Amino acid sequence: MDKWIADLGNGFYKNPILYTDYSDPDAIRVGDDYYMTASSFCNTPGLPILHSKDLVNWEIINYALENIPESRYEEPVHGCGVWAPAIRYHNGLFYIFFPMPDEGIYVITAKDPRNKWSEPVQIFKGAGWIDPCPLWDDDGRCYMVSAYAKSRIGFKSILRLTELSPDCTKIIDMGRDIFDGNVNDQVTIEGPKLYKRNGYYYIFAPAGGVKTGWQVVLRSKNIWGPYEYRNVMVQGDTDINGPHQGAWVDTVTGEDWFLHFQDVYAAGRIVHLQPMKWENDWPVIGEPHGEYGTPVKEYKKPDVGAVYPVSYIPASDNFDEKELSLQWQWNANHKNDWYKMTGSGIQLFAKESKVGAVCDIPNLLLQKWAFPEFSAVTEFDLKGMDDGGTAGMIHLGEKFGSVLIEKNNGLFSLAAIEGQQVFRGEIPTSSEKNTVIEENIKTERVYFKNTVKPIGKDENNVPLWNSELYYSLDGKEYTKAVSFTAKAGRWVGVKHGIYCTGSTGSVIVKYFKYN
């Protein structure tokens, strides 16, 4: 498998529409185009921009954030960085609000989401405010709903409303808390999205926790409340746990739909599409069961007024384009001199690493899992590699593994790494075990392979995957170097990719192919 296709080709689609870790998705319709963004944490470029014509077939078209606007992200700060964003369109301008839980809330804009976005403007400085979403009211005033991160501020489950300047460059009224989930059976309410319809203000928000919760909707005739609430989608007897936060969108034909994510542990937070109906000015999401719905696995495609061709997020890459393909991200804030597109491969320049574990190297070039089961192979040309250099393939989650080749005194050796990643300055720091497999090798190329297979569920019904890393000197016979049970990072699905470290030299990676 080298692509995930949700479009069944018969007028129906299957969930998930994206088997990719696009955590905390938000989306809008502008004309007959749909745009989606998602959390990107410490990876760059950040804030992916995805596009669709029919809500089922998506492609990635850009990133809104070149690098994260704080110097500490020159090295990976796993689980931190860019959290749940909101994308909106107002008076000819696209806006993305994004929180950084340790730093504050930022806003960026663009006239065309496919082109360069503005530099971030920090509208709130401080820790703990997360999940911002704006609404421009009928009188032109602008409001922002947000939530709180207990890990940063000491409490959670409360939503806050503030008033912004209409151009969203500053907060003009710090506002007040408008809903307390701790006393309303909505513990861990977060990820709010603010809308207005038929004279009601609506806040769509998940509650109950990422893996065990539900979708709740609040409504009020006054934006400041008080708000009544209703659970509008629950897991029920389906296997779609959560189901967690997302976005309400409509079609030009008047249908309503809801995009949300499901947390599938190691594979990350994958994206689903649910039908939505209105009953007495309350939404019901998914398969109706009275006042609430349950997630669907297959459904008739949205009526968007036309039929569009199948599209998908690329996974395999021959590195033969002038620019780096958009499925790739770096492990931290990046620099353009880390690589060069040669036309017949990507040249990775060796960079000195200041960290002790391979999981914390900034210039890891990574992509998300794109399928529930896969095997990915890659080929390294080593002719430009200098003594002291290291290059390899990595599988990166809270547990990580790498198979790599090192050069010393003109000869190569192969090694395997297994380790444990830590987050946000925790002690001890990330650690790893390095095992030499073969030494004194003369070669000009090496091949690596990463195979991932589902292996059932544990006693807590958590899905498990086994990850194996291999090497080969001829591209035919592969030797297993690492095998372990994959484990997601904190709020982040597993990624895998390639890297090159050292003081000088480079390698050329010819391809990264799935089957």
Gap between the Cα atoms of 208 and 192, Å rounded: 13
The one-letter amino acid code at 193 reads K
Q: Locate tokens 């000819």: which residue?
A: 92
Reported confidence tier of residue 353, pLDDT bands at 50, 70, 90: confident
pLDDT of 427: 65
Residue 489: which residues within 8 A CB-CB, separation 6 or more? 78, 79, 396, 397, 398, 421, 423
- Whether the CB-CB separation of 130 and 147 falls below 8 Å is answered with yes
Reported confidence tier of residue 461, pLDDT bands at 50, 70, 90: confident
> Which of 190, 398, 406, 468 does the annotation list as catalytic?
190
pLDDT of 424: 65
E strand or H helix at 371: none
* Structural tokens at position 424: 């946000």
Reported confidence tier of residue 192, pLDDT bands at 50, 70, 90: very high
pTM above 0.85, yes or no: yes
- Average pLDDT score over the chain: 96
The one-letter amino acid code at 352 reads E
* Structural tokens at position 350: 């060796």
Q: Where are the beta strands (DSSP E) in 397-478?
A: 399-408, 411-420, 431-441, 445-457, 463-472
- Whether the CB-CB separation of 312 and 5 falls below 8 Å is answered with yes
CA-to-CA separations, 394 to 177, 339, 364, 403, 482, in angstroms, rounded: 44, 17, 8, 7, 10
Q: Domains (ranges, CATH) in the chain?
A: 12-300 (2.115.10.20), 329-514 (2.60.120.200)
Q: pLDDT tens, 44-101?
A: 999 999 999 999 999 999 999 999 999 999 999 999 999 999 999 999 999 999 999 9
Q: Locate tokens 């989306």: which residue?
A: 27
Reported confidence tier of residue 356, pLDDT bands at 50, 70, 90: confident
Residue 24 annotated in active site: yes
Question: For the chain, how are helix, strand and coil distributed in percent, rounded to 5?
Answer: 5, 50, 45
Any idea which of 2-6, 116-120, 446-450 has the lowest mean pLDDT? Answer: 2-6
Reported confidence tier of residue 205, pLDDT bands at 50, 70, 90: very high
